Amino acid sequence: MQTRRIGDVDVSSIGLGAMPMSIEGRPDEERSIATVHAALDAGVTLIDTADAYHRDADEVGHNETLIAKALASHERGGDVLVATKGGHLRPGDGSWTLDGSPRHLKEACEASLTRLGVEAIGLYQFHRPDPRVPYEDSVGAVRDLLDEGKILMAGISNANPEQIRLANEVLGGRLVSVQNQFSPAFRSSEPELRLCDEHGIAFLPWSPLGGISRAGELGSAHAPFARIAEKYGVSPQRVCLAWMLAKSPVVVPIPGSSRPETIRDSLAATDLVLGADELAELDAA
């Protein structure tokens, strides 16, 4: 497995997005753990989770607990950088709410530490800006957690260029990652990707294949990806991830998966090298 860098840690160039294993339509625990184990067997050393990845109101942190269990039952579980997030909430009715207050973020981090069973979280990310709280206050709480040793690295998610610059300033130049939505259908995060590339900050595209409900339609919705996939005898999803990896060495896609076969196919994108003309065609698609 090829590697890329988040802060001072080398990780697999494609990570595993664990959200589909815990929200609506999730599989049973046995299949989820098999998916995590398949990822580890294939060389994954980055798993993305969050305390808000759950379905019901009384199971906050379901995904974190699941990931901790899966890692504990695999011989390579200790080699994985677990990235989790705080500041998003799910009341249990299918909606998403926000709490970016410093008090909540610090309490959320403590709870995540317990669920993950670690003394310090490898990468902790502020999940989404809360318009009721000054952004610098929310990121300031993450800075405090970093200074206290509760987390080893700090990141942000769903941020614009101004917020990236502000977060890095508040963190004293220690911002290591930005996790934004980016896919063939959602390209408005290109400015953030370019900014991360300029500053050597890891850019983690979430829903890189279009999201849980639309990932299977990638080829039919974006014909050039299907055409190039047919040329190489691979899936359009694999072409998509290879295209992202070629954009910048700071890009580390985290495709969501809840089946061993889909994460294996995603990881094979690291071996697919696309030509300059093909990349330009996909850029224009």
- Give the whole-angstrom CA distance, residue 230 versus residue 8: 38
CA atoms within 13 Å, Cβ hemisphere of 273:
1
- Closest by CA to 157, choosing from 203, 113, 187, 125, is 125
**Three-state DSSP state, 3:** strand
- Give the whole-angstrom CA distance, residue 270 versus residue 32: 23
Question: Catalytic: 232?
Answer: no
H runs (alpha helix) in 53-189:
62-72, 102-116, 135-147, 161-170
Q: What is the CA radius of gyration of the chain?
A: 18
Containing 232, the helix (H) or strand (E) segment is helix 223-232
- Give the whole-angstrom CA distance, residue 49 versus residue 147: 22
**Three-state DSSP state, 269:** helix
- Give the whole-angstrom CA distance, residue 120 versus residue 227: 45
- Give the whole-angstrom CA distance, residue 160 versus residue 188: 10
What totals of helices (H) and strands (E) does the chain contain, helices first?
11, 11
Q: Write the DSSP symbol of residue 122.
A: S
- Give the whole-angstrom CA distance, residue 143 versus residue 137: 10
- Give the whole-angstrom CA distance, residue 175 versus residue 67: 24
Residue numbers annotated as active site: 53
